Structure 1
């Protein structure tokens, strides 16, 4: 019986695939420094609690001050734990810590902070436009928080990340109102002698506070949506 000789198969060398370089979130470090410094500044007026050092008028009663201190404390927890949620190393290497800090962000941060501030916004002396702006922000803060929590529980993690970017932008809006308030003050004071203001301090205060809250929301939420679009794209781009 004749056997046909076959040449041994030569293995084709496999070229090693180049390792993809991970993009480093370099912006987190300077952002963290600014955020932490701002939180320390904001909390310093209320720790230890003393109505005399409050940056908000609390002359209408002690309960106003109690709710204000509670809001500042819970909001500080939300700001710091939310910052940790965006740290890639924590999220990728220590998922259990990421989940627990997320729970603290929700139940020890934004939700109690929302309840505390909802009770005192209507007493703001800064005018109706400012009050409406604050309640608008509060509604967005609540909605995005619930949406992010539901997405995480349903294990829709892509949606969870998007909702939490929006929610943390709402969390940071309170910090952004400080520099925006200074900018609005400079703009309004430059027109203090005009017929619109006639050096009326109350009108100047209302416009400064109202412009600050609305401008801060436009900036933080606009940046959040732009970041989501650049990082995740939209449905049409992914299906193409």
Structure 2
């Protein structure tokens, strides 16, 4: 009779602390995304190429309107991507997760990625930036389509892995702008030597460093996190097997 009145053991406090700690990254992530969009998008809303950081090719009247659409679709992608990787939102609002996921894919990544191929091909920043933009846009489309297919097939673990990679590529544009700053600082004193006095070549090189390095770093970091979580999920099962 005493055993029936015994209260169950309390939940270990470490679990709650650990879960809370893992969720704190969503706030600075959203703040960084909002800050980047608030700084980068408004110049394009004037529809004046003079305010754009990308110079339209001479004689190509289609370039700038498509660039504006690309930027707006990219804004949709970055905004909805934050909700896609937010574990609490995904767990508590599954319908909202599915809706924002479809918006991310069909109103964000697909139009932004396809237009990115066009914008990248006609860039005036040099061949290295052109190839980086083409590769980045194509890769973004591929991993996002793979993530969508995994969700349709209910292979949710694989869906999260591919969607994490898609998210990394969506955010690479923001990191590239950050990388461009130290790249410009390092390369500016070498304009007269390395670049033969061409400031334009120096700027194109700094831009190239950013657009190549940012997706590479984010994809490597994302896969490292995915592998770390995968190993962490295996440990409890292994420990339970050892205790038998």
Bin of the TM-score, shorter chain as denominator length: 0.7 to 0.9
Work out the CA distance in 1 between the residues paired with 2:118 and 2:236.
43
Q: Which residue of 1 aligns with 2:160?
A: 161
Residue 25 of structure 2 corresponds to residue 32 of structure 1:
no
Tell me if structure 2 keeps the 8 A contact 1:67–1:117.
no
Q: Which residue of 2 aligns with 1:73?
A: 72
Q: Relative to structure 2, which stretch is displaced further, 48-57 or 77-86?
A: 48-57
Superposition CA RMSD, Å: 2.2
Work out the CA distance in 1 between the residues paired with 2:181 and 2:87.
34
Task: Give how far 1:101 is off.
Answer: 0.5
Task: Give how far 1:110 is off.
Answer: 0.3
Q: Which residue of 2 aligns with 1:89?
A: 88
From the superposition, tell whether residues 140 and 235 of structure 1 become closer, same or farther in structure 2 (CA, over 3 Å). farther
Work out the CA distance in 1 between the residues paired with 2:119 and 2:28.
33
Whose Rg is larger? 1
TM score, norm. by length of structure 1: 0.88
Work out the CA distance in 2 between the residues paired with 1:128 and 1:234.
42
Q: Relative to structure 2, which stretch is displaced further, 134-143 or 153-162?
A: 134-143
Residue 11 of structure 2 corresponds to residue 18 of structure 1:
yes
Unpaired runs of 5+ residues, structure 1, are 1-8
Unpaired runs of 5+ residues, structure 2, are 239-244
Work out the CA distance in 2 between the residues paired with 1:34 and 1:131.
27
Work out the CA distance in 1 between the residues paired with 2:64 and 2:152.
35
TM score, norm. by length of structure 2: 0.86
Tell me if structure 1 keeps the 8 A contact 2:136–2:169.
yes
| Match of residue 217, structure 1, among 211, 215, 218 | 215
Q: Which residue of 2 aligns with 1:144?
A: 143
From the superposition, tell whether residues 66 and 238 of structure 1 become closer, same or farther in structure 2 (CA, over 3 Å). farther
Q: Which residue of 1 aligns with 2:54?
A: 56
Task: Give how far 1:139 is off.
Answer: 2.0
Tell me if structure 1 keeps the 8 A contact 2:129–2:207.
yes
Tell me if structure 2 keeps the 8 A contact 1:184–1:211.
yes
